[in-house]
Amino acid sequence: MLPAKHSVKRIKGDYRLIAIADIHGHLDRFKTLLKKVDYNPSHDYLVIIGDFVEKGDQTIDTIRFVRELERNPRCFVLIGNCEWAMTAILQTPELANQIQHYFAKIPRNGAIRDYYHQLHLDDGHETMLGIQREIEFKLHDDLQWMKHLPTTLKLNDFIFVHAGLPYANNYKSGILPDYLEMPYFMNQGHPYKEMVIVGHMPSSNYHHHNITNNIIIDEEKRIISIDGGTGIKPVSQLNALIIRSHDGVITYECESVQPCMKGRIIKDHHPIKQKWHKIAYPYFKVTPIKTKGSLTYCHNEGLDEDLWIKNDFLYERGGQWYCLDDYTDRQLDVARGEIVGIAGHYGDEIYAVKDGLVGWIPASCVQIIHKHNVRL
């Protein structure tokens, strides 16, 4: 196992810092976000909090782009669990047989899968150890760079880490999984005086009844969660946390990129307030009760709740029914003239995003507009 590496830096005077996590091989989205926040490498500080590899179809180019960014002394790149897994599975001969398991666990694109196909290793002519060696050869320099990335970065009054910190007297006392794989760190909390900034766990997972990928800033717990679910969630965004320090006063701004079509609200929709439901990890199992048109009334076993689910979001496997991650029955409150993101069009309703919140709007209330005309 790689040792945890802890970096400590200090910025003097006023500064502007941009933190981004969990890019997951979505280079176009990453570049768009850097442009949107007006990133200036000569003046701004940039912290990339791990998991910039795998699950996207631009992973190899993303690695090279991040490596180029890191040449700037104002840019800091931390290791995430995906970088850790990639180096282990490609540079540990005993793990060669795990590559197929890795493909099953990571069903989306990535550098390992890309080279597996590009090198025609999928035709069965090579052993698993041979497959490992050939892919490692193509990525060798990148893997050597990734495995030496720091695990944590203490910068003034902040600690940046991919997943979380051990609850101990000294945050440096943990082993690598404590920092890279800790689930629900925001629920655990920490005893340190610094504000801790993490990715890893999509921020939407912390909301029981809402789907929203916006950054969560919890001043009381001294934790900021910035993973917008890119590469993981069917409706996601890539977030940037902007930290400004002026005369010792810290302020935060949040920005994001969500690559979906846009719609203009042409008619008010003010639903009657009620209890909305959300289905998300790990509670996907449902039991259908009755079907009416495009909807099926289901019992969610994990939450012990009943709700109507669009038939498009239901699937059957091995005699058990499941709902796709994530799903909500929330109706969005919108007013004429507002701009929303369009996540999908299902019959007479639009699955939409307003101010980061996901829900449904009658299709008759929305006019689709060109996605490049409006910045959401």
SS (H, E, C) 172-223: HHCCHHHHHCCCCHHHHCCCCCCEEEECCCCHHHHCCCCCECCCEEECCCCE
How do strand 152-155 and strand 195-198 relate by DSSP bridges? unpaired
DSSP string, 67-117: HHHHTSTTEEEE--HHHHHHHHHHH-GGGGGGHHHHHHHS-SB-HHHHHHH
Model pTM score = 0.92
Give per-residue pLDDT as tens, 323-355: 987 899 999 999 999 999 999 999 999 999 999
Walk me through the domains of the chain, giving residue ranges and CATH numbers: 6-257 (3.60.21.10), 261-369 (no CATH)
pLDDT band at 301 (very low <50, low <70, confident <90, very high): confident
Q: How many CA atoms lie within 13 A of 316 on its CB side?
A: 5
- Looking at the chain, the whole-number percentage of residues with pLDDT higher than 70 is 98
Yes or no: say if 254 and 78 are a contact pair by the CB < 8 Å rule: no
Q: What is the pLDDT of residues 162-180, one digit of tens each?
A: 999 999 999 999 999 999 9
With cut-offs at 50, 70 and 90, classify the pLDDT of residue 375: very low
Q: How many CB atoms sit inside 10 A of residue 201's CB?
A: 23
Q: Residues with Cβ < 8 Å from 236, sequence gap 6 or more?
A: 202, 213, 228, 229, 230, 258
Instruction: Give the pLDDT confidence score for residue 370 in this predicted structure.
Output: 62
The token pair that represents 139 in the structure block = 């990525």
- The residue length of the chain stands at 376
Mean pLDDT within 105-114: 84
Q: Which of 11, 19, 130, 109 is nearest to 56 (CA)?
A: 109
The yes-or-no verdict on residue 373 having pLDDT over 50 is: no
Average pLDDT over residues 121-146: 94
